[in-house]
Amino acid sequence: MRSELDFLYERQLQTRIRIAYFIAFFVFGLLFLRLWFLQVVYGTNYRELSENNRIRTQKVKAPRGFILDSTGRILASNRPSFDISLVPQDTRDSDRVLERLSELLEEDVSVFKQKVEQSRGRPPFEPVKLQTDVTREILGLVLTHKLDLPGVVVESTPVRSYPYGSLASHVLGHMGEISQKELDRFKDPQRYQIGSFVGKSGVEQKKEGYLTGEDGGYQVEVNAVGYKINIMGRVDPTPGHDVVLTINAELQKTAEDSLGGKAGAVVAVDPRNGRILAMVSSPTFDPNLFSLGISARDWQELISNPEHPLMNRCIQGMHPPGSTYKLVTAAAAMEEGLVTKETSFFCNGMYKLGNRTYRCWKRPGHGNVSLVKGMVESCDVYFYHLGSQLGPDQLSDYAKGFGFGTPTGISLQNEKGGFIPTSAWYKRKYGIPWQAGESLSIAIGQGSNLATPLQLVMAYAAMANGGKLYTPYCIERVVSVEGVVLEDNNPLRKRGIPLSKENRDLLKECLWGVVNTPTGTGTLAAISEKDVSGKTGTAQVVSLTKKKENTGRDTFADHAWFAAYAPGNEARIAVVVFVEHGGHGGSAAAPIAHTVISRFFELEEEGNV
């Protein structure tokens, strides 16, 4: 017979068993509930995470469109860049791997570690670039020791390449890493991300939207150490579109070589439509320096260079046009009825205005000077007379009619508009009325007159083509990979120059005489049977007194100009040459124009223009 104590013990045991059952049920319930959440609620998410450990998406950078010259020669293309990267997820001991890599490459390991540290916060399966554009020797070394470098991968990406180096660099432009401002402006995450390279100047910048393609990618299956096992899917990248320029590479090279490294500019255009045939700004630069990000040292050398190689002198260099501007002064005087072909003035080498003497470039003087002789021999005194009769505002009106004082409208950024003074501007600036002596200075292209080489060549092109002023253009068309023309530029005529046919024919006779008569100032530009016409210009940098006080200093030497077109009656090329501190236009600039025009006719005969 059981005692009461036995009943009490049995009841306690049953209670404990029920509690144990309850705890066990509760624990298993929690586990079941957790498994249900993991598999049902979060199953898709964890499945994706699991797949990402095994399947990775790798981007394939789209090649940028080519830039070609007018004959189809490739001026900007792409080349493969082999980069050494680290996938953090694929290495257990990144410090050891980086140390081993630094030993092989003989690099400071701290540089590698810093790059990995800077990538913190990014997905661990995204490669971190350690070295870009490595040599094939380094590439072979890394691949040979691949088993010792878990997580280290070799990537190949297309980078911009300019096979002719600095040729036409100011037209082509250069690349650079995208800024936050540009990212916000483009608003196209499929094509532009942090680290993307975009055009920063020239055609690269102007046609960025066409040149940049759309990136592709592929899904790869990898094993536990990151090796590719299988490619599971692929989307091919779409290359950018090609841009065809009006520039002729052969003529461009001739023009660059003819400057001989001197600071200056050469612009050649087809006067019949405004097509730029060559555009040279010297000194130049190599855009390949920017393709992978320019080094601090190279950048400092460029921006500290006193000759400013990054500046496009053709559209940004503003200087007094010198005697090339006498074309405008003569046109204004003729149209206003102040002079005819027979109107003469006497030049004894100086012109007196009040108590001041204005000298002619020819000290003994030119004697009796007609309009033709005044242009052919570039007599300053003759144009002093015209300037004093015209005044600043009439000269300004005609100058603007020839395209001076405003940008030409070429599709390159940061074009300057030059400057043409007026009496109102003078009053605002100096607080006094226009001074008569200023009229003499601007009449010969000195004083406050400022023009760019492109403005000047378009004015002379208008003289050559019958008076039509065109908007210059250097981009011919944009073509897709399939050969479809997406954009085709046509000549755009702005207006006619303010000059009658009769007066234009007379001035053309004068310009022909500058080059083809024995007393002309531009005889060094003459080409047998090619009828070159033109005008020399020498732009004074400092006064004659200062020049005497500082003899031997190049920075005080005059600028040299020469503007020309050929052949006279059916002009197919117009050229302007500007040589900074080159001296006289007839001796420094005219021979360069001779070389460029001669080469143009050679190419034309070969059928390569």
The whole-angstrom separation of Cα 503 and Cα 590 is 25
The whole-angstrom separation of Cα 27 and Cα 86 is 44
- 3-state secondary structure (DSSP) of residue 48: helix
The torsion angles phi and psi of 310, rounded to 5 degrees, stand at -80, -15
Which position among 323, 370, 378, 533 bears the catalytic label?
Answer: 323
DSSP assignment letter at 239? P
Distances (CA, A) of 403 to 333, 416, 418, 443: 18, 12, 10, 16
DSSP assignment letter at 148? G
Per-residue three-class SS string for 274-299: CEEEEEEEECCCCHHHHCCCCCHHHH
The torsion angles phi and psi of 283, rounded to 5 degrees, stand at -70, 160
Active site residue 258: no
Do the Cβ atoms of 593 and 527 come closer than 8 Å?
A: no
What is the biggest distance separating any 2 CA atoms in the chain, rounded to whole angstroms? 159
Q: Which amino acid is at 521?
A: T
The whole-angstrom separation of Cα 341 and Cα 356 is 29
The whole-angstrom separation of Cα 146 and Cα 245 is 45
Residue that is written with structure tokens 């607080």 in the block: 431
Distances (CA, A) of 418 to 404, 414, 456, 521: 7, 12, 10, 26
Q: Tell me the CB-side half-sphere exposure of residue 365, using CA atoms within 13 A.
A: 13
Peptide linkage before 491 cis (omega within 30 of 0):
no
Residue that is written with structure tokens 């403005």 in the block: 455
* Nearest CA-CA partner of 453 in 491, 403, 527: 403
Q: Which residues are catalytic?
A: 323
